[in-house]
């Protein structure tokens, strides 16, 4: 089972994300608390390359990784890491990750989620998922495990995501703090451009009241106007992380 699990991580980390999709989901309450999750659907990838992972065997996984427990279990070794790496790991302390894989059905889904007390405390959940994937690999004793975007735990993509909710207005804004890193990450995906063409990144956000104004003209809304969906191509998102910036005004 561990070998199969690591095979999945290796396949994902190789960036063979053919038809794979990321979904960032946020449910915001009136008081600014809520729940955020990021989902990775790699079922198409599994269908195409599952035999290489399972080695022809029928395998099935349905497990939950609690990162608070992982951090406690490995606190001695984590304390020896550079400070910046420790900080990134401890960002995951409130997250859990549910992983469901069925090689026979060609299904692979990873859902990482947490409740939050203030939306402004949130950061880049895609980056959190990358770190979580690295941790999952290390949990299996694979110290060279890579993340879905091919980064190690000490790297970042040159951006910072900030959320805010105040006076009936919500925003998700991406700051470009290192344009060279952004370009480097895009360049690293160049050979995979054809394979990533059908991959998507989607925002699915729900609010306690109706949306009366929205900054993006590409978003679609629910019938009750309390939620929206905004989907872009994964390559498009990597080339321009600010494409998912949104500002939302709710009714009073």
Inter-residue long-range contacts of 143-147, CB under 8 Å, 24+ positions, other chains counted: 145/6, 145/9, 145/10, 145/13, 146/9, 146/10, 146/13, 146/14, 147/13
- Please say if the pLDDT value at position 33 is more than 90: yes
Sign of CA pseudo-dihedral 102, 103, 109, 112: positive
- Asked whether residue 142 carries a pLDDT value surpassing 50, the answer given is no
Q: How far is CA 87 from CA 21, 131, 143, 152, 245, in A?
A: 28, 11, 19, 15, 25
Long-range Cβ contact pairs of 152-158 (< 8 A, separation 24 or more): 153/85, 153/88, 153/89, 154/82, 154/84, 154/85, 156/127, 156/181, 157/127, 157/181, 157/182, 157/185, 157/241, 158/182, 158/184, 158/185
Question: What are the tokens at 93?
Answer: 């302390």
221: three-class secondary structure by DSSP: strand
The answer to whether 219 and 207 are in contact (CB under 8 A) is no
Residue 18 pLDDT > 50, yes or no? no
pTM of the model: 0.81
pLDDT of 57: 56
113 forms bridges with which residues in the sheet? 37, 96
Q: CA-CA distance, 24 to 238, in Å (whole number)? A: 15
> Among 176, 59, 40, 201, which residue's Cα sits nearest to residue 109?
40
Sign of CA dihedral 166, 167, 171, 176: negative
81 versus 172: which is more confidently predicted? 172
Sign of CA dihedral 148, 152, 154, 158: negative
Q: pLDDT (tens digit, 9 = 90+) per residue, 64-82? A: 889 899 889 888 888 887 8
Give the number of other CB atoms < 10 A from CB of residue 229: 15
pLDDT at 2: 47
Q: Is pLDDT above 90 for 232?
A: yes
Mean pLDDT of all residues in the chain? 79
pLDDT band with cut points at 50, 70 and 90 for residue 211: very high
Spacing of C-alpha 109 from chain mean position: 12
Does residue 17 carry a pLDDT above 50? no
Split into its structural domains, the chain has a count of 1
- pLDDT of 152 above 60: no
Q: How confident is the model at residue 103 (pLDDT cuts 50, 70, 90)?
A: confident
- Please check the confidence at residue 202 and state whether its pLDDT lies above 90: yes
pLDDT at 155 over 70: no
Note the pLDDT of residue 227: 97
- Residue closest to 16 by CA, chosen among 54, 40, 42: 42
Structural domain range at position 154:
2-250
Q: Please determine, for residue 3, whether its predicted confidence score (pLDDT) is greater than 50.
A: no
* Through-space distance between the first and last CA atoms of the chain, rounded to whole angstroms: 52
More confidently predicted of 39 and 53: 39
Longest dimension (CA), the chain: 57
């Amino acid at each position: 089972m561990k070998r199969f699990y690591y095979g999945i991580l290796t396949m994902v980390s190789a960036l063979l994300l053919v038809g794979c999709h990321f979904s960032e989901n946020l449910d915001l309450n009136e008081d600014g608390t809520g729940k955020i999750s990021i989902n990775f659907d790699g079922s198409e990838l599994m269908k195409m390359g599952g035999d290489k992972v399972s080695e022809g065997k029928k395998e099935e996984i349905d497990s939950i990784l609690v990162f608070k427990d992982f951090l406690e279990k490995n606190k001695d070794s984590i304390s020896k890491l550079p400070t910046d790496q420790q900080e990134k790991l401890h960002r995951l302390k409130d997250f859990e990750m549910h992983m469901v894989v069925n090689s026979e059905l060609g299904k692979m889904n990873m859902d990482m989620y947490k409740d939050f007390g203030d939306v402004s405390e949130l950061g880049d959940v895609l980056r959190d998922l990358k770190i979580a994937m690295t941790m999952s690999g290390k949990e299996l004793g694979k110290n060279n495990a890579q993340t879905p975007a091919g980064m190690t735990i000490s790297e970042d993509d040159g951006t910072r995501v900030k959320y805010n909710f105040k006076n009936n207005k919500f925003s998700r804004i991406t700051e470009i703090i290192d344009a060279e890193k952004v370009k480097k990450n895009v360049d690293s995906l160049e050979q995979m451009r054809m394979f990533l063409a059908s991959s998507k990144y989607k925002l699915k956000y729900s609010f306690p009241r109706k949306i009366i104004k929205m900054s993006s003209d590409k978003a679609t809304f629910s019938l009750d106007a309390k939620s929206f969906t905004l989907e872009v191509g994964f390559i498009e998102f990597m080339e321009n992380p600010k494409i998912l910036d949104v500002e939302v005004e709710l009714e009073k």
